[in-house]
Amino acid sequence: MADIYTMGIDIGSSASKCLILKNGTEIAGSAVIAAGTGTSGPRRAQEEALAAAGISMKDIRRSTATGYGRNTVEGVDAVVSELSCHAIGIHAVFPDVRTLIDIGGQDAKVIRVSENGRLDSFVMNDKCAAGTGRFLDVMARVLELDVSELEEKSAKAKNVVNISSTCTVFAESEVISQLSNNVDICDLVAGIHRSVAVRTAGLVRRLGVVEPVAMSGGVALNGGVVSALEEELGLTIKVSPLAQLNGAYGAAVHAWGQLEKETL
């Protein structure tokens, strides 16, 4: 029997992700492009994922789009919210996980996953950017670091600096004044991570902590934030190996599910 491919496309504010699933279980190809909705990112992500899988668009039997830019993707079979896709995605990776924390560029969300892998309830960050990937981007820029360097720096921290401001503008001036006081940059980075962790922990508590807890999204790649969050919540967090691709994975699984429903 020929292989069946489904595609999940997750178009975020700052990145486009695409994942192709073979026969509902095997990841045939994926791509993450650092350009979000309204750019060439969505198209490029699809092309790259298809190339990685060694197939072409006509081989895709079903596709599901998700993410902020989900309504702008042409030619997809279904459009599903990223919250549902994240729940489906994490359930496929870690079936026992009940709480998923996903921090992306623009927003942070905490999702309760039911035992059968469905979206049970959720909360999202409020109007301010504190506690999102954007906050980390701004802070990294102030410190003249690349976001990818943050984890390594914070691992070397000795005395974590307290960053109290939640307002991004205020936090920026707070970090600058600490820098001019010659505070160790590693201590500062750890402080920034803790600030994000505290903010996120508040969201988690708002929903109620049900273990096991997992994390996905671009910020999950930063182990500094993950361990700060573990400390803040006093529990262990499973990090999805798919990180940013969790939503796209969930979308591809969703597309597979649609196909199965149809053929039943």
Task: Using DSSP bridges, classify how beta strands 26-33 and 237-239 pair: parallel, antiparallel or unpaired.
Answer: unpaired
Which residue, 119, 96, 100, 92, is CA-closest to 25? 92
> Which one among 51, 170, 210, 236 touches other proteins, defined by CB under 8 A?
170
* Residue keyed to tokens 């182990």: 223
Residue 202 engages other proteins in binding (rule: CB under 8 A): yes
Question: Which of 188, 189, 201, 225 touches other proteins (CB under 8 A)?
Answer: 201
Type and span of the H or E element at 46 = helix 41-53
Residue 68 engages other proteins in binding (rule: CB under 8 A): yes
**Applying CB under 8 A, does 245 fall inside the site for other proteins?**
no
Nearest to 105 by CA among 15, 4, 200: 15
| 3-state secondary structure at position 37 | coil
**Contact by Cβ (8 Å): 111, 223:** no
Q: How far is the CB of 126 from other proteins (least distance, A)?
A: 6
User: Is residue 210 within the footprint of other proteins (CB under 8 A)?
Assistant: no
Q: How far apart are CA 179 and CA 91, in angstroms?
A: 42
231 binds other proteins (CB under 8 A): no
b/e per residue 81-108 (b: at least 16 CB within 10 A): ebbbbbbbbbbbbbeebbbbbbbbbebb
Q: How far is the CB of 159 from other proteins (least distance, A)?
A: 17
Residues 98-137 that bind other proteins (CB under 8 A): 106-107, 118-124, 126-127
Binding status of residue 173 toward other proteins by CB under 8 A:
yes
The SS3 assignment for 125 reads coil
Q: How far is CA 226 from the centre of its chain?
A: 12
Output the smallest distance, CB 87 to other proteins, in A. Answer: 9
Residue 165 engages other proteins in binding (rule: CB under 8 A): yes
- Minimum gap (Å) between residue 104 Cβ and other proteins: 11
156 binds other proteins (CB under 8 A): no
Backbone angles phi, psi at 17, to 5 degrees: -125, 140
Residue 159 in the binding site for other proteins (CB under 8 A): no
Is residue 204 at the binding interface for other proteins, with CB under 8 A as the rule?
A: yes
Span near other proteins by CB under 8 A; candidates 44-52, 75-83, 152-160, 219-227: 75-83
| Paired residues of 9 in beta bridges | 18, 65
Nearer to other proteins, 38 or 241 (CB): 38
Q: How far is the CB of 82 from other proteins (least distance, A)?
A: 6
Q: How is residue 156 written in tokens? A: 């070397």
Q: Where along the sequence are the contacts to other proteins (CB under 8 A)?
A: 13, 68, 80-84, 106-107, 118-124, 126-127, 164-167, 170, 173-174, 176-177, 198, 201-206
